[in-house]
Amino acid sequence: MKQKDPKNETTPEPQVLQSPVLRKEVMVDLPHDHSPELQREMGIELARLIEKIDGLETELETIKADFKGRIKVEMDAAAIVAKRLNKGFDTEPTPCEEHHDYDRLLVRIIRVDTGDIIKERAMTPSEQQQEIQFRHPAG
């Protein structure tokens, strides 16, 4: 058997089939190196996209902060309603009178509509000082 000499070896020619063959042109995605111009254009596009992403992230943080503030307002309102609900009553301004009883040295707060004594306490030293009523001569 004859040995092949690697120096004389050439790439074999593709065999051409003699029988009828159906040939059809097709497109196949194959790797191609980027041209310097394409790489430059892609770099510019990438920088633009990263800048846009940064802007959107900043906008998202602003929106989040806004919503957190809005949620806090609603949570504060809910806490107030919960406290009112737990107490079982509300307070509101009600017409009352302050009565000074100098005989007993007491101050009473009395509801005008019901006459109920709401609060009673001892007079302070300055409250114990009665005003002197002066009579003006007619004339």
Q: Identify the three-state secondary structure at position 18.
A: coil
Q: Is residue 124 one of the residues assigned to a domain?
A: yes
Tokens of residue 89, six digits: 């009553």
Q: Is residue 16 one of the residues assigned to a domain?
A: no
Q: Is residue 46 one of the residues assigned to a domain?
A: yes
Residues 73, 114, single domain; the answer is no
**Which residue type sits at 123?**
M
Residues 76, 103, single domain; the answer is no
pLDDT at 20: 78
Domains identified in the chain, total number: 2
pLDDT at 132: 76
Measure CA 96 to chain center. Answer: 45
Residues 43, 78, single domain; the answer is yes
pTM above 0.75, yes or no: no
**Using CA atoms, how far apart are residues 100 and 107, in angstroms rounded to an integer?**
5
| Digitized pLDDT (tens) for each residue of the chain, 139 residues in all | 455 555 556 666 666 557 777 889 999 999 999 999 999 999 999 999 999 999 999 999 999 999 999 999 999 999 999 999 999 999 999 999 999 999 999 999 999 999 999 999 999 999 888 777 777 776 6
